[in-house]
Amino acid sequence: MPTQTIALNEFLRQLRSGRFPVSDAASLEALSARELMADLQRLYPVKFQERDIGRKHEVALARSIRYELGFGNRGLSIFSPIRLLPVLRSCVFAGCYGDSLSDITTATSVYVKPTRKPVKGLILRMGRGFKLDKGPDGWALNPIEGRAVNLSLEFLEKRGWQFDLFLPFRNIVPEAAAELSHER
Amino acid sequence: MDDPLDFVDMTDVAVHGDPGTWRFQGRKQGSPTPATSPNAPPGTMKNYDLYVDEFGLKIELHYFRYTDGTVDDVRVKPRT
């Protein structure tokens, strides 16, 4: 494993545990944020969000995706509809302005659940994690705990969410996944 | 002119909800103020806007606005 990858792994390990020494964060400013993000993607291959807005670039990655069974409202039926709900595991969110890293966050997971109220969208719940954030007074490391947030598909599309990733079996039956994606 | 709420990052959305639901509470006293960073182009203003997020938490939105209306370095901070 290259030394650079070992260093990145160690940095992320410390960040995930909330034990990253903030005094070391200044060294991040010497790095190319775009290169760092590319390196992150090698370790966290599931890219579920990416966008550019103004000088800002942001990306959200997961190490893996798994599916959990969810039971829908059965209404008048004697059977419960079953859904496969995606869970993005071991996530990293990173943002930069230009080529300077502005923030990097680790989260244990992001749970994703569909909703139709008040509009068609997703309920996202981010697991606990830590955010390393660069402010005018320097870098700060803070714990974060996401809540269940209801976000419309329109909002998430504008932010570059990759919905196709949430389709199970997409690698096995790519044509069916593409069809499902169009039906959305 | 850029809307700074469009720049709020996903982790802040996950904690504070859709920025479109935040309630604007005005500007912090003294805001906007000229940016003092040596890298800031002349005329850049530092802004501190006050909001209540989707869950009732009081927060601040900090950002720079350039003379052409674009924004930069947008951050969500707890209210101080």
Enumerate the domain spans of chain B. Answer: 4-78
Largest CA distance in chain A: 61
Q: Would you state the pLDDT for residue A75? A: 80
Residue B2: list chain A partners with CB under 8 A. Answer: 54
Q: Which of B7, B13, B14 sits opposite A54 (nearest CB)?
A: B7
Buried-state track A151-171, b at ≥16 Cβ within 10 A, e below 16: bbbebbeebbbebebbbeeee
Confidence of residue A137 (pLDDT cuts 50, 70, 90): confident
Q: What is the dihedral of CA A52, A57, A63, A68, to 10 degrees?
A: -40
Question: What gap in Å lies between CA A96 and CA A24, rounded to an integer?
Answer: 18
Does residue A28 register a pLDDT over 90?
no
| pTM assigned to the model | 0.88
Mutate to test the interface with B, among A124, A147, A159 (most CBs of B within 10 A): A147
Q: What is the pLDDT of residues A111-123, one digit of tens each?
A: 999 998 888 999 9
Domain coordinates of chain A in residue numbers?
A: 3-183
Residue A75 gets the label, from left (phi > 0), alpha (psi -120 to 50) or beta, of left
